[in-house]
Structure 1
Amino acid sequence: MATDILLIEDDRSLGAVIKDFLEREGYLVQWCTTGEDGLTFLERTAVKLVLLDIMLPDIDGFTVCAKIRSAQSLPIIIISARSGDDDQITGLNLGADDYMGKPFSIGLLLAKIKSQLRRSYGNQAENPLLRDKDLVVDTASRSVYLNETPINLTVKEYELLVLLLENAGKTLQKDWLFDRVWGVDCFSEPSTLTVHIGKLREKIEADPKKPRRIKTVWGVGYRYETL
């Protein structure tokens, strides 16, 4: 199931307050108390935004921030008692979209969350459904259905599918797709894109070996053809 917000915070009192407040505002929240648990959750579940503490009991939040940013482009807001200029500069340079020093106003946090979600998903909020005959992508819940049956996609597979559908009929270069989904500073090999396209075809194509939707444009990239 898709999640709106992943909260990575080891302070159980503060974590409980934030989670309860955001859920009362209508958000689906997953709370992890360690960086490793947060990263593991992100590997298997689509998330719209991450709230990230820096002082965690295992790996520090800066490392978590860098790992998240190397894998995907979702908004990251750091919330930390380490609020000096050097820490804020480090967090922002590692890819955080905003940085809030503790203690903070829960109302201000909510406003920043709404701002980041609006900035990142504004167009999707206005047009939440992407359709191609029996294939439907609900960008509001980050859910995908084929013949009205839910399909379980990884975060990368989902992001690739949305990009392809949003640009149906256009040939998208491999480098452009890779940079958009993995980030320009990602250390993964570009061949990762080919692997993920193959896995995506297995899930949405009637015959993955003879794809009708995701076409390969040899020497260039891929093009999504609507049925």
Structure 2
Amino acid sequence: MNDTGKTHVLLADDDVGFCELLSEYLRHQNFDVTMVHDGLAAIEQVERGLYDVLVLDVMMPRADGFRVLERLRASHRIPVVMLTARGEDVDRIVGLELGADDYVAKPCNPRELAARLRAVLRRSQPAAADPTPLRSGDLELLPAARAVRVAGQPVELTGAEFDVLRTLIEDAGQVIAKDELSRRALNRRLGAFDRSIDMHISRLRQKLGPHPDGNPRVRSVRNRGYLYVTAE
């Protein structure tokens, strides 16, 4: 939050009129909003460290949203909500693969965007209580610090990835349906063609690696969901 106590949103979209519409609504919802209209400007602003969350359009001049996100994820953990064209499933999948925390299809309802922003911000905040670590084999999850270690080494996760993993660890060894996983971890139901949970699981597998014995940590169960495999 900035000096006013409000959440500071960086809105990156080259549609100036659309930005102004969203900004007006968000300001009425107690957000401070700064607008930029090209990808390089978005990177420059995030690197100043003044923002709590980034709303990032896919199609922008100088650097598209994917390039911006890829560059930022190399060194920044700022929560990112992607703006994707309605019906462009590929854009949503690529955004999630690159580390976006959530997405909203354009043209979007400003109320929906505000709700998504609040959800990703809640996920990004350290827990005030519940300091008890969760452990499974060589993996340790620290809820209060929102941190994860594997074999004692820190693993950098986005807010969404952390909450998906925490939900799996809480029910380690049990299958969790995709829709239940989405509701518990992301606070939303899955749409008919929503692959956000699949993308978060894919990134978790890449970042966590397998168990020391080579078995996968997260297993998919066809037509049922996912489970975290307990270590032998």
The amino acid of 2:89's aligned partner reads D
Please tell me whether the aligned partners of residues 54 and 82 of structure 1 are also in contact (alpha carbons under 8 angstroms). no
How many pairs does the alignment contain?
A: 141
| Aligned match of 2:43 | 39
Match of residue 109, structure 2, among 85, 105, 108: 105
Give the drift of 1:82.
Answer: 5.9
What is the TM-score with the length of structure 2 in the denominator? 0.52
Q: Distance in 1 between matches of 2:34 and 2:106?
A: 21
Secondary structure of the equivalent of 1:66? Answer: helix
Aligned partners of 2:14 and 2:38 also within 8 Å: yes
Match of 2:132 in 1: none
**Equivalences for 1:20-35 in 2 at 5 Å?**
20-35=24-39
> What TM-score results when the alignment is normalised by the length of structure 1?
0.54
1:41-56 matches, within 5 Å, as 41-56=45-60
Q: CA RMSD in A?
A: 3.2
Q: CA deviation at 1:35?
A: 0.8
2:212 paired residue number: none
SS at match of 1:67: helix
Letter in 2 for 1:46: L
Q: Measure the CA separation in 2 of the matches of 1:29 and 1:8.
A: 10
Say if 1:180 and 1:46 are closer, same or farther in 2 by CA, change over 3 A: farther
C-alpha change, 1:122 and 1:29, in structure 2 (3 Å) is farther
Residue of structure 2 equivalent to 1:10: 14
Q: Are 2:58 and 2:91, in contact at CA under 8 Å, matched by a contact in 1?
A: no
Q: Which structure's relative contact order is higher, taking Cα pairs within 8 Å and 6+ residues apart?
A: 1
AA aligned opposite 1:69: R
Per-residue CA distance 1:152-199 (angstroms, 9 max, x = gap): xxxxxxxxxxxxxx79xxxxx9953x8479xx999xxxxxxxxxxxxx
Paired residue secondary structure (1:109): helix
Aligned partner (choices 61, 72, 77) of residue 68 of structure 1:
72
Deviation at 1:62, TM superposition (A): 0.5
Q: In 1, distance between residues paired with 2:157 and 2:97?
A: 18
TM-aligned CA distance change 1:68 to 1:174, over 3 Å: farther
Identity %: 30
Q: Which has the higher helix share?
A: 1
The one-letter code sitting in structure 2 at the alignment partner of 1:104 is C
Question: Residues 87 and 114 from structure 1, CA distance in 2 versus in 1: closer, same or farther, beyond 3 angstroms?
Answer: same
TM-superposed CA distance for 1:86, in Å, is 1.5
Deviation per CA, 1:91-125, whole angstroms, max 9, x where unpaired? Answer: 1101111121111111111111111111112636x
The 1-side partners of 2:26 and 2:51 are apart by: 15
